[in-house]
Amino acid sequence: MADSSGNFFADDRVVLPSGGPLYLQLKRWIEDAIGRGDILPGDALPSERDLATRVDVSRVTVRKAVLQLVNDGVLVQRHGSGTFVAPQTPRVEQSLSQLTSFTEDMARRGMAVSAEWLDRGLYLPSPEETVTLGLSPDDQVARISRLRLTGDVPLAIERASLSARILPDPAAIEDSLYRHLDKSGNRPVRAIQRIRAANLGEQDAQLLAVPTGSAGLNIERTSYLASGRVIEFTRSIYRGDKYDFVAELRLGDAPASGDTK
């Protein structure tokens, strides 16, 4: 990627925004430069030492500002190669009232999807899978785990379990699990979704290309066929900095406050 940051950082006139501790001034200066397009996604930042000299602050101040920007997802650090402006992907808004697949969600926004397979195969079910999926003692379970991306930006890790009777050959799934299920008339029509806040552990954070401990959303989806049978149990971890889950709320049956009649 072309590095257009050279001109910006080579400019002598560094005027930090005023107010607050120095590292926050420096942080805001970098954010403003990104906001104005003076430095672009993919551009490299100068080394800690060079930046400290250029801005005339200590290396500790630079380190603090950069760390916060990395935690905010504004910068990314690549081991051995330096610090870069993070690629920009808009936050994704996902409705909580529609049962859609990841592929459909992204296609609706004109965003390219891809997946990295982490695992897929048939296994002996765990007790939780047996109960949730309503399996018989000698049934197998199909497990598929994917890192889901748009472009080269990872958004979520999804680990789905389905009865092997429904999904006897997990390797046959191409891009979309729901499209695959649709072909055999097994696309879910209803789901219960539970969302919990979580701080990402080291392994998940690494897959999602964010610092360990970043905010994430743990989502469990149990999906049903029209018959009421459970078809899918998926545990997902979504990046907290990329997703907004949006629910429409309507006034319920209870009388509005003040309505005493």
Nearer to ligand 16G, 61 or 234 (CB): 234
* Burial call 214-242: b when 16+ CB within 10 Å, e when fewer: bebbebebbbbbeeeebbbbbebbbbbbb
> Which of positions 151-180 make contact with ligand 16G (CB under 6 A)?
158, 160, 176-179
Q: Smallest gap, in angstroms, from Cβ of residue 127 to ligand 16G?
A: 21
Nearer to ligand 16G, 83 or 236 (CB): 236
Single-letter amino acid, residue 195: I
User: Does residue 101 touch ligand 16G according to CB under 6 A?
Assistant: yes
Q: Compose the 219-238 pattern: x for residues touching ligand 16G by CB under 6 A, - for all others.
A: x-x----------x-x-x--
Q: Compose the 186-225 pattern: x for residues touching ligand 16G by CB under 6 A, - for all others.
A: ---------------------------------x-x----
Q: Smallest gap, in angstroms, from Cβ of residue 85 to ligand 16G?
A: 28
Nearer to ligand 16G, 208 or 219 (CB): 219
Query: Would you state the structure tokens that stand for residue 82, as one six-digit string?
Result: 């330096």
Part in contact with ligand 16G (CB under 6 A); list of ranges 16-24, 96-104, 129-137, 164-172: 96-104
Q: Measure Cα distances from 198 to 118, 195, 217, 239 in Å.
A: 21, 10, 6, 10
Instruction: Say how far apart CA 30 and CA 11 lie, in whole Å.
Output: 14
Q: Smallest gap, in angstroms, from Cβ of residue 175 to ligand 16G?
A: 7
Gyration radius of the chain's alpha carbons:
23
Q: Which residues bind ligand 16G (CB under 6 A)?
A: 101-103, 158, 160, 176-179, 219, 221, 232, 234, 236
